[in-house]
């Protein structure tokens, strides 16, 4: 009988509006620091939406070659910065084992900044004056490719582009590559940089965004009765995944284990979630079955929780379908209340946050939860972090088009 290879997490890295780096992010989660702020990087005077969760004081040149940074998009910069932090934490020397180290980075949109600069360039200077770097900077696989080039990985190189489920799937797919023996190590995560005029305009056109412009810190309020839409965020997050045998052989410090992965499709609508909850629930139950765990063993759920009226109520129904009566006993939080909705980078960011919760001994809060919503009546860890030692946690990632994904992570007990 073949024993399935176990996959563990030995390093994490993150860049987002709550914190540039794991130490800063951990403190922000512990104190419930909001990431929302007025958008100042472009003119929003005519926009109904004037707020976002933007990364502040970020210098890509600290993480990558400055010439490469000039030729790549902001979302790739986030991916490299997060990957480098994760690799440093893991104490991983890539060069001697480069052919057994892969990269899996998801992004929902890719190089939005590059696209908008090129669009203006087209009308200002004409079709024959484009930079030869704009297409490579734009495409949504280039976050993964840039990480690979900057850090020197030569194993499997994959890029998920499944909307807001992209980086949850990037981690799950990377786990499968290690299980299959195609790599010993995978740098897995996601990056997004869509706090741009087109990003703002596009989501506003769908009436998906909060217009609480006078209260940017309080605008992202998942599960609250007064929520009026998502707050767009940006950033990146990467985890170092390793085969347990490989991590132990090199004496790595193990943070947690990826024990389950599940996927399903709603086959329903381009943007709306499954109103019955049955298809997202299947992804969660598949992940638990893959992990060999039961619903009774789950200690915490990091919800997709986008702060949209329809989405949060739908996910609450999903969790009730999965957990039954126990749904009221399982702590659930949406850290998008702090980071905003980072689109394709959301799932990886939330997986990193789950690792922080397990290793640091607290459940991050859902901030701005002030008015109970009868449709959202679970324990959402309101407003204040809660001391806890979760052992088995779930991280949900759902994307436009009906992409449902779920990871089950477990605290490492040695």
Catalytic residues: 164, 304, 341
Element (H, E) at 190: strand 185-193
Provide, for the chain, the percentages of residues in helix, strand and coil under a 3-state DSSP scheme, each rounded to the nearest 5: 40, 20, 40
Three-state DSSP state, 214: coil
Residues sharing a CB contact under 8 Å with residue 262, sequence separation 6 or more, in sequence order: 282, 283, 284, 285, 286, 287, 288, 289, 290, 405, 406, 408
Contact 92, 185 (CB under 8 A): yes
CA separation for the pair 296, 317 (Å, rounded)? 18
Torsion of CA 26, 64, 173, 242, to 10 degrees: -70
Contact 258, 171 (CB under 8 A): yes
CA separation for the pair 376, 161 (Å, rounded)? 30
| Side-chain-side CA neighbours of residue 338 (13 Å) | 29
Query: How far from the centroid of its chain's Cα atoms is residue 406's Cα?
Result: 12
Contact 405, 254 (CB under 8 A): no
Contact 398, 267 (CB under 8 A): no
Tokens of 405: 């994904």
């Amino acid at each position: 009988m073949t024993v399935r290879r176990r996959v563990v997490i030995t390093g994490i890295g993150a860049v987002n509006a709550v914190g540039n780096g794991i130490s800063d992010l951990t403190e922000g989660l512990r104190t419930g620091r909001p990431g929302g702020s007025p958008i100042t990087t472009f003119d929003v005077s005519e926009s109904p939406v004037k707020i976002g969760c933007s990364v502040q004081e970020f210098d890509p040149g600290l993480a990558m070659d400055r010439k490469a940074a000039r030729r790549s998009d902001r979302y790739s910069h986030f991916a490299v910065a997060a990957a480098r932090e994760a690799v440093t934490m893991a104490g991983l020397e890539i060069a001697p084992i480069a052919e057994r180290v892969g990269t899996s980075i998801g992004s929902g949109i890719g190089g939005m900044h590059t696209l908008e600069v090129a669009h203006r360039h087209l009308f200002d200077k004409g079709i024959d004056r484009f930079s030869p770097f704009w297409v490579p900077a734009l495409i949504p696989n280039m976050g993964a490719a840039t990480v690979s080039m900057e850090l020197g990985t030569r194993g499997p190189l994959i890029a998920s582009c499944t909307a807001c489920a992209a980086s949850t799937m990037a981690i799950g797919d990377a786990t499968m590559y290690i299980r299959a023996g195609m790599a010993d190590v995978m740098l897995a995560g996601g990056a997004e940089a869509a706090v741009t005029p087109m990003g703002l305009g596009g989501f506003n056109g769908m009436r998906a965004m909060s217009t609480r412009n006078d209260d940017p810190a309080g605008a992202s309020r998942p599960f609250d009765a007064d929520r009026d839409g998502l707050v767009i965020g940006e950033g990146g997050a990467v985890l170092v995944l390793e085969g347990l045998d490989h991590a132990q052989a090199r004496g790595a410090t193990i943070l947690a284990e990826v024990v389950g992965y599940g996927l399903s499709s709603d086959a329903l609508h381009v943007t709306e979630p499954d109103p019955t909850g049955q298809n997202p629930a299947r992804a969660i139950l598949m992940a638990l079955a893959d992990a060999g765990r039961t619903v009774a063993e789950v200690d915490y759920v990091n919800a997709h929780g986008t702060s949209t009226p329809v989405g949060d109520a739908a996910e609450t129904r999903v969790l009730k379908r999965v957990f039954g009566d126990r749904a009221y006993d399982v702590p659930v939080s949406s850290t998008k209340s702090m980071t905003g909705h980072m689109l394709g980078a959301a799932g990886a960011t939330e997986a990193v946050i789950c690792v922080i919760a397990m290793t640091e001994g607290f459940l991050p809060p859902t901030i701005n939860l002030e008015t109970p919503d009868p449709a959202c009546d679970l324990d959402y860890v309101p407003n204040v972090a809660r001391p806890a030692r979760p052992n088995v946690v779930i991280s949900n990632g759902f994307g436009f088009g009906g992409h449902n994904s779920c990871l089950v992570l477990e605290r490492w007990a040695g």
